[in-house]
Amino acid sequence: MKIPAELKYTKDHEWVSVDGDIATVGITDFAQGELGDVVYVEIETEGDELDEGEVFGTVEAVKTVSDLFMPVSGEVVEVNEKIESEPEVVNDDPYGEGWMIKVKLSDAGQLDSLLDASAYESEVG
Amino acid sequence: MTELKSTALKDIHLAAGAKMVPFAGYEMPIQYSGLTDEHLAVRNGVGMFDVSHMGEFILRGSKAIDLIQKISSNDAEKLEKGKIQYSCMPNGRGGIVDDLLIYQVEDDAYMLVVNASNIQKDWQWIESHNSFGVQMQDISDRTSLLAVQGPKAAEALLGLTDMELAEMKYYTFQKGTFAGIENVLVSATGYTGSGGFEIYFENQHAEKIWNAIMEAGMPFGIKPAGLGARDTLRLEKGFCLYGNDITDETSPIEAGLSWITKFTKDFVDHKYLKKQKENGVSRKLVAFKMIDRGIPRQHYPLFNEEDEQTGEVTSGTSSPSLKLGIGMGYVKTADAKIGNSIFVEVRGKKVKAEIVKLPFV
């Protein structure tokens, strides 16, 4: 199971990478493994201002369905179009091509309460 | 909580990279390489499932047939040695105790194969009707069962036995030497709708037989397959799953199992079910495929064209073969026509589906 050291994590098994005031969000390798083969990802919140912990979308796998939660508050400024046409990239490359949304941070201070890689590792270990 | 049981192949599953989950009191492999990959291996080639959690009872004696006729809905007099019948046990209240396979293994002996989750319940139920002095034996704990399924199954197993697998008719079985082990029962049955065999033997041979099949199947691309693929494969063919599509609260007539409910004999619920068959039922199990995007899941509500709730989903998945949502569920008889539109409530939205004939593929 991959847990890249440079990313931040949540207990809901999402990862966050920050560039300036934009956070990129996806689900972790652990999460995609638990879900199994992803069939589609439904994200209809582009342009919405959402609070930390709110649902921004849903992942449908063959056997299960799971909500996606905002790791931080902000506006959903972009949704990955690739996961619309090729949802399997969420399984194949969860930290790369399988990213889900970009969020314009409304409170950069929230980043401090996210887990680092070693804290997340003990969460799923 | 009682401790989970394991099959004789737990170490093999772990070494093969299986993800294990609790199922019906057993720790079972739900997937290995991935559900879709395993599903397609079975549809197009060959895959192997460890389904040793299933229960096996032996019923022996001159009156064994009478006990079986009493508890089961199908007509077991149609059986002969070497043949198998799909049947169900009505529960005396209009529902179903379990569905099962009945093997006639000797002139006066039968093997009943039941669902793992129902082993105790079924045993007690059958015993409670055994006023015939039939000798009953539960061999579940010492019996392993492998399902080798797919269009290439016969070819893959050919070299392991003298039994003529390619000629074996559906729902028949033979006993013989398999992978060097004597007294192995091979039956032309399965729960995938892709052909293949189910192989019964004593636990101590499990690793040897598993390994022999994996090796023999290698040129045919055999893959170990888990309970996840087993469920999507059976649902694409519209096979009922006990606990989902049939339960203690559903009748075989409602479930579309009239074909295994034969009024040529007396049995538990005989009169009640005959009346249902003659007068019609108020709800029916239907199959539907999604027209708009969405995946039906168990217990999602179903609505008719007038936007009235008509029932709920009993089984649902994304079909790996069709790449769309498919499901089954009970609806009011008036809404059950093939071709009708039906709406599945998915997270508060009503998503359009169409009632279709089975199988899906």
Q: Is B271 part of a structural domain of the chain?
A: no
Using a pLDDT cut of 70, give the percent of chain B over it: 100
Write out chain A residues lying below 8 Å of B232, CB-based.
Answer: 62-63
**Chain B residues touching chain A at CB-CB below 8 Å:** 19, 31, 34-36, 228, 231-232, 293, 295, 297, 317-318, 320, 323, 347
What is the full DSSP assignment across A77-114? EEE-THHHH-TTHHHH-TTTTT--EEEEES-GGGGGGS
Question: Number of helices and strands (H, E) in chain A?
Answer: 4, 9
In angstroms, the separation between the Cα of residue A39 and the nearest Cα of chain B is: 7
Give the burial class of B62: count Cβ atoms within 10 A of its Cβ; 0-12 exposed, 13-18 middle, 19 or more buried.
exposed
Write out chain B residues lying below 8 Å of A65, CB-based.
Answer: 295, 297
Q: Is B221 part of a structural domain of the chain?
A: yes
CATH number, domain of B11, equals 3.30.1360.120
The reported pTM is: 0.95
Q: Which two tokens stand for residue B93?
A: 């209240």
CB contact under 8 A, B228 and A36: yes
Q: Is B247 part of a structural domain of the chain?
A: no
Of B19, B35, B297, the CB nearest to A37: B35
Structure confidence at residue B242 (pLDDT): 98
Q: Is the pLDDT of residue B1 over 70?
A: no
Write out chain B residues lying below 8 Å of A63, CB-based.
Answer: 35, 228, 231-232, 317
Q: Is the pLDDT of residue B3 over 90?
A: no
Of B35, B232, B318, the CB nearest to A60: B318
CATH number, domain of B323, equals 2.40.30.110
- Tens-place pLDDT, residues B147-180: 999 999 999 999 999 999 999 999 999 999 999 9
Pick from B200, B217, B236: which residue ends a domain? B236
Indicate if B209 and B323 belong to the same structural domain: no
Q: Is B102 part of a structural domain of the chain?
A: no
Q: Helix, strand, or coil here: B42?
A: helix
CB contact under 8 A, A36 and B231: no
| Predicted complex ipTM | 0.88
CB contact under 8 A, A65 and B297: yes
Structure confidence at residue B351 (pLDDT): 98
Indicate if B178 and B288 belong to the same structural domain: no
Structure confidence at residue A125 (pLDDT): 79
| pLDDT confidence band for B98 (50 / 70 / 90) | very high
Indicate if B146 and B216 belong to the same structural domain: yes
Token pair 């799971």 in the structure block, residue: A66
Q: Is B50 part of a structural domain of the chain?
A: yes
Q: Is B206 part of a structural domain of the chain?
A: yes
Indicate if B43 and B173 belong to the same structural domain: yes
Of A36, A39, A91, the CB nearest to B295: A39
Indicate if B17 and B149 belong to the same structural domain: yes
Write out chain A residues lying below 8 Å of B297, CB-based.
Answer: 65
Q: How many domains does chain B have?
A: 2
Indicate if B215 and B289 belong to the same structural domain: no
* B38, B292, B295, B298: best to mutate for the A interface, most A CBs within 10 A: B295
CATH numbers and ranges of domains, chain A: 9-108 (2.40.50.100)
Calpha distance B350→B342 (Å, rounded): 9
Pick from B203, B236, B269: which residue ends a domain? B236
Q: Which two tokens stand for residue B295?
A: 């995946």
A40 contacts chain B (CB < 8 A) = yes
Q: Which residues of chain A have pLDDT under 70?
A: none
Q: Is the pLDDT of residue B225 over 70?
A: yes
Indicate if B225 and B309 belong to the same structural domain: no
Indicate if B208 and B316 belong to the same structural domain: no
The 10 Å Cβ neighbour count of residue B175 is 15
Write out chain A residues lying below 8 Å of B19, CB-based.
Answer: 33
What is the pLDDT averaged over residues B246-258? 98
Token pair 């899906």 in the structure block, residue: B360
CA angle, residues B320, B86, B240, in degrees to nearest 5? 35
Indicate if B316 and B206 belong to the same structural domain: no
Of B19, B293, B320, the CB nearest to A62: B320
Pick from B181, B207, B236: which residue ends a domain? B236
What is the pLDDT averaged over residues B34-59? 98
- Residue B126: CB partners within 8 Å, gap ≥ 6? B57, B59, B67, B71, B89, B112, B136
Q: Which residue of B has its CA nearest to A88?
A: B36
- Tens-place pLDDT, residues B281-337: 999 999 999 999 999 999 999 999 999 999 999 999 999 999 999 999 999 999 999
CB contact under 8 A, A65 and B295: yes
Indicate if B222 and B147 belong to the same structural domain: yes
Q: Is B91 part of a structural domain of the chain?
A: no
Q: Hey, which residues 84-123 in chain A have their CB within 8 Å of chain B?
A: 91
Q: Is B276 part of a structural domain of the chain?
A: no
In angstroms, the separation between the Cα of residue B33 and the nearest Cα of chain A is: 10
Indicate if B231 and B287 belong to the same structural domain: no
Q: How many residues does chain B have?
A: 361
Q: Please report the number of interchain residue pairs, chain A to chain B, with beta-carbon separation below 8 angstroms.
A: 32
A36 contacts chain B (CB < 8 A) = yes
Domain with B309 in it: 282-356
Indicate if B47 and B154 belong to the same structural domain: yes
